[in-house]
């Protein structure tokens, strides 16, 4: 059973798909997609993002500008981004439930498939980003977090700023969970702030078929939920997040 909070730390949930195609990208596709969703998404804008890739042959990083189209609902808490052979669904607060998010994912995935007719799926990722603030005078991070950086003795275990990034393999389904945990600028006075980014992504040798995407997402969400729960102490769940059921 999912835990419920009065002050949930989630600031964004994302589901990202990358596709293969037998044809070059056609910029009429976003327009066809928008016809399927326009009644619920009145706002649209064009974005340009910088993507960094590794050229294996040249052994170097390559940066390229990727144009995207972004569609937002009236409340601007559901956002869809389309780029060449790419679809991402972003859910911002308030986050109602996984069932609600999952319905959004499959509705817009089917709309994309209808418009673009991709030949296959290259990757899928499910990501939950959390912003956590604790009182500044609370020095012991162990009271609040179970996932923490460590350095060997006799180095002091004091971390005014840090960034922890680990990838953990899973076999059911074959995938990996990237945990990113670090300090960020606080929004509140007299507090310290942290981000916990949980990103479950498919591996290149185990891409789910269309028929198994729902199973992959269900398992990914379960692993993310387990990792979220385990990353914080019960004090954080009750005092910081305001848990309302156990």
pLDDT in tens, the chain (246 residues): 578 999 999 999 999 999 999 999 999 999 999 999 999 999 999 988 766 666 556 666 677 778 899 999 999 999 999 999 999 999 999 998 999 999 999 999 999 999 999 999 999 999 999 999 998 775 588 899 999 888 888 888 778 889 999 999 998 778 999 999 999 999 888 899 999 999 999 998 888 888 899 999 999 999 999 999 999 999 999 999 999 875
Tell me what pLDDT residue 139 has: 57
Residue 104: DSSP 8-state: H
Tell me what pLDDT residue 246 has: 58
- H or E element in which residue 145 lies: none
Tell me what pLDDT residue 52 has: 65
Tell me what pLDDT residue 138 has: 57
Tell me what pLDDT residue 157 has: 76
Residue 38: DSSP 8-state: T
Asked if the bond preceding 173 is cis, omega within 30° of 0, the reply is yes
- H or E element in which residue 169 lies: strand 163-171
d(CA 160, CA 148): 12
β-pairing, 86-91 vs 120-135, is: unpaired
β-pairing, 174-184 vs 78-83, is: unpaired
Residue 61 exposed, middle or buried by CB count within 10 Å (0-12, 13-18, 19+)? exposed
- Helix, strand or coil for residue 70? strand
> Which residues fall within 8 angstroms of residue 7, CB to CB, at 6 or more apart?
240, 241, 242
Tell me what pLDDT residue 141 has: 86
């Amino acid at each position: 059973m999912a835990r419920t909070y009065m002050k949930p730390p989630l600031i964004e949930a994302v589901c990202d798909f990358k596709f293969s195609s037998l044809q070059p990208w056609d910029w009429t596709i976003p327009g066809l997609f928008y016809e399927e969703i326009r009644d619920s998404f009145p706002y649209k804008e064009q974005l340009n993002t910088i993507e960094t890739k590794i050229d294996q042959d040249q052994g170097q990083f390559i940066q390229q500008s990727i144009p995207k189209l972004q569609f937002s609902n009236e409340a601007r808490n559901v956002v869809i981004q389309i780029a060449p052979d790419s679809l991402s669904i972003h859910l911002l607060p308030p986050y109602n439930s996984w069932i609600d998010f999952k319905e959004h994912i499959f509705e817009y995935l089917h709309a994309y498939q209808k418009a673009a007719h991709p030949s296959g799926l290259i990757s899928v990722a499910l990501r939950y980003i959390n912003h956590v603030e604790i009182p500044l005078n609370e020095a012991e991070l162990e009271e609040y977090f179970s996932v923490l950086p460590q350095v060997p003795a006799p180095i002091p275990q004091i971390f005014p700023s840090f960034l922890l990034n680990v990838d953990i393999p899973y076999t059911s389904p074959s995938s990996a969970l990237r945990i990113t945990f670090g300090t960020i600028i606080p929004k509140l006075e007299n507090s310290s702030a942290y981000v916990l980014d949980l990103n479950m992504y498919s591996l290149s040798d185990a891409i789910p078929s269309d028929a198994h995407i729902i199973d992959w997402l269900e398992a990914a969400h379960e692993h993310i939920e387990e990792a979220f729960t385990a990353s914080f102490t019960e004090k954080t769940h009750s005092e910081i997040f305001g848990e309302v059921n156990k």
